[in-house]
Chains A and B, each alone.
Chain A
Amino acid sequence: MNFCPEEVLEHIFEFVTSHKDRNSMSLVCKTWYQVERESRYGVFIGNCYAINPVRLIKRFPRVRSLTLKGKPHFADFNLVPHGWGGFVDPWIKALAKACPGLEELRLKRMVVSDESLDLLSRSFVNFRSLVLVSCEGFSTDGLAAVAANCRNLQELDLQENDVDDRRGHWLSCFPESCTSLVSLNFACLKGEINLSALERLVARNPNLRSLRVNRAVPFEMLQKILIKAPKLTDLGTGSFVHDSDSETYHTLKSAMTNCKSISSLSGFLDVASCCLPAVYPLCANLISLNLSYASGINGNELVKLIGHCKKLQHLWILDCIGDDGLRVVADTCNELEELRVFPSDPFGPGNAAVTEQGLVAICSGCPKLHSLLYFCQQMTNAALITVAKNCPNFIRFRLCILDPVRPDPITMQPLDEGFGAIVQSCKRLKRLSISGRLTDSVFFYIGTYAEQLEMLSVAFAGDSDNAMLYVLNGCKKLRKLEIRDCPFGNMALLKDVGKYETMRSLWMSSCELTLGGCKTLARKMPMLNVEIINENDQVEIIPDNNDRQKVEKMYLYRTLVGPRPDAPDFVWTL
Chain B
Amino acid sequence: MEMVGGEEDRRLEETELRLGLPGGRASEGETAVAVIKCGGKRGFSETVDLMLNLSTKETLMDLNDKVKRNLAKENDDPVKPPAKALVVGWPPVRSFRKNILAVQKSDVKESEMMSGGAAFVKVSMDGAPYLRKVDLKIYKGYQELSNALGNMFSSFTVGMIDFMNVCKLMDLLNGSDYVPTYEDKDGDWMLVGDVPWEMFVESCKRLRIMRGKEAIGLAPRAMEKCKNRS
Residues of A within 8 A of B43 (CB): 405, 460
- Among the listed A405, A457, A486, A512, which residue makes an inter-chain contact with B74, where contact means beta carbons less than 8 Å apart? A405
**Given A269-B100, A460-B43, are A349 and B84 neighbors across the interface (CB < 8 Å)?**
yes
Residues of A within 8 A of B55 (CB): 535-536
CB-contacts of B93-125 with A (<8 A): 93-98, 100-101, 104-105, 108
Q: How many residues belonging to B are interface residues under a CB distance threshold of 8 Å?
A: 50
For B24-48 the 0/1 string (1 means CB < 8 A from A) is 0000000010000000111111000
Q: Which residue of B lies closest to A433 (CB)?
A: B92
For A525-547 the 0/1 string (1 means CB < 8 A from B) is 00000000001111111100010
Q: Give the interface SS of chain A, mostly helix, strand, loop or mixed.
A: loop
- Among the listed A188, A402, A464, which residue makes an inter-chain contact with B91, where contact means beta carbons less than 8 Å apart? A402
**B82-A403 in contact (CB<8A):** yes
For A476-497 the 0/1 string (1 means CB < 8 A from B) is 0000000011110000000000
**Given A78-B59, A81-B58, are A343 and B79 neighbors across the interface (CB < 8 Å)?**
no
In the assembly, what is the distance between CA of A98 and CA of B74, in Å?
Answer: 60
Residues of A within 8 A of B74 (CB): 405, 407, 437
**A343-B15 in contact (CB<8A):** no
Shortest distance from the beta carbon of A319 to any chain B beta carbon, whole Å: 11
In the assembly, what is the distance between CA of A448 and CA of B90, in Å?
Answer: 28
**B79-A409 in contact (CB<8A):** yes
**B93-A403 in contact (CB<8A):** no
**B92-A400 in contact (CB<8A):** yes
**A82-B40 in contact (CB<8A):** no
**A375-B91 in contact (CB<8A):** yes
Shortest distance from the beta carbon of A86 to any chain B beta carbon, whole Å: 14
**A77-B53 in contact (CB<8A):** no
Residues of A within 8 A of B100 (CB): 269, 293
Contact of A406 with B by CB under 8 A: yes
**B15-A82 in contact (CB<8A):** no
In the assembly, what is the distance between CA of A160 and CA of B89, in Å?
Answer: 17
In the assembly, what is the distance between CA of A437 and CA of B44, in Å?
Answer: 9
Residues of B within 8 A of A188 (CB): 96
Contact of B158 with A by CB under 8 A: no
Q: Which of B8, B64, B93, B108 has the most CB of A within 10 A?
A: B93
Shortest distance from the beta carbon of B38 to any chain A beta carbon, whole Å: 11
Contact of B159 with A by CB under 8 A: no
**A464-B40 in contact (CB<8A):** yes
Q: Which of B85, B92, B93 has the most CB of A within 10 A?
A: B92
**A404-B88 in contact (CB<8A):** no
Contact of B81 with A by CB under 8 A: yes
**Given A295-B104, A549-B15, are A404 and B80 neighbors across the interface (CB < 8 Å)?**
no
Residues of A within 8 A of B58 (CB): 78, 81-82
CB-contacts of B168-182 with A (<8 A): none
Contact of B127 with A by CB under 8 A: no
In the assembly, what is the distance between CA of A491 and CA of B216, in Å?
Answer: 91
**A76-B81 in contact (CB<8A):** no
- Among the listed A293, A296, A406, which residue makes an inter-chain contact with B97, where contact means beta carbons less than 8 Å apart? A293
Contact of B195 with A by CB under 8 A: no
In the assembly, what is the distance between CA of A402 and CA of B98, in Å?
Answer: 14
Q: Give the interface SS of chain B, mostly helix, strand, loop or mixed.
A: loop
Residues of B within 8 A of A160 (CB): 94, 96-97
Contact of B185 with A by CB under 8 A: no
Contact of B129 with A by CB under 8 A: no
**B88-A79 in contact (CB<8A):** yes
Q: Which residue of A lies closest to B39 (CB)?
A: A463
Residues of B within 8 A of A83 (CB): 57
**B84-A405 in contact (CB<8A):** no
In the assembly, what is the distance between CA of A212 and CA of B97, in Å?
Answer: 17
Shortest distance from the beta carbon of A378 to any chain B beta carbon, whole Å: 8
In the assembly, what is the distance between CA of A540 and CA of B13, in Å?
Answer: 13
**B53-A536 in contact (CB<8A):** yes
Residues of A within 8 A of B45 (CB): 405
Residues of B within 8 A of A540 (CB): 1, 3, 8, 11
Residues of B within 8 A of A403 (CB): 44, 81-82, 85
Q: Which residue of A lies closest to B101 (CB)?
A: A295
Shortest distance from the beta carbon of B169 to any chain A beta carbon, whole Å: 33
**A536-B97 in contact (CB<8A):** no
**Given A405-B45, A536-B54, A538-B11, are A343 and B91 neighbors across the interface (CB < 8 Å)?**
yes
**Given A346-B91, A540-B1, are A82 and B97 neighbors across the interface (CB < 8 Å)?**
no
Shortest distance from the beta carbon of B165 to any chain A beta carbon, whole Å: 30
Q: Which residue of A lies closest to B79 (CB)?
A: A409
Q: Which of A375, A400, A460, A542 has the most CB of B within 10 A?
A: A460
Residues of A within 8 A of B89 (CB): 74, 77-79, 484
In the assembly, what is the distance between CA of A458 and CA of B45, in Å?
Answer: 17
- Among the listed B42, B54, B105, which residue makes an inter-chain contact with A535, where contact means beta carbons less than 8 Å apart? B54
**B88-A350 in contact (CB<8A):** no
Residues of B within 8 A of A343 (CB): 91, 93
In the assembly, what is the distance between CA of A345 and CA of B102, in Å?
Answer: 9
Shortest distance from the beta carbon of B47 to any chain A beta carbon, whole Å: 9
Q: Which residue of A lies closest to B3 (CB)?
A: A540
Residues of B within 8 A of A433 (CB): 92
**Given A78-B89, A484-B89, are A542 and B96 neighbors across the interface (CB < 8 Å)?**
no
**A550-B15 in contact (CB<8A):** yes
**B81-A406 in contact (CB<8A):** yes
**Given A269-B104, A293-B100, are A77 and B95 neighbors across the interface (CB < 8 Å)?**
yes
Contact of B78 with A by CB under 8 A: yes
In the assembly, what is the distance between CA of A457 and CA of B90, in Å?
Answer: 13
Residues of B within 8 A of A269 (CB): 100, 104
Contact of B87 with A by CB under 8 A: yes
| 15 A-B contact pairs sorted by A residue (CB < 8 Å) | A77-B93, A78-B64, A79-B88, A81-B57, A295-B108, A342-B97, A346-B93, A346-B101, A347-B86, A349-B84, A402-B81, A459-B92, A463-B41, A486-B42, A535-B54
8 A-B pairs besides A344-B101, A403-B44 with CB distance below 8 A are A160-B96, A161-B96, A350-B81, A375-B91, A535-B55, A538-B15, A538-B32, A540-B8
B residues with CB within 8 A of A: 1, 3, 8, 11-12, 14-15, 32, 40-45, 53-55, 57-61, 63-64, 74, 78-82, 84-98, 100-101, 104-105, 108
- Give the top 4 A-B pairs by smallest Cβ distance, nearest first: A77-B89, A405-B44, A160-B96, A350-B81
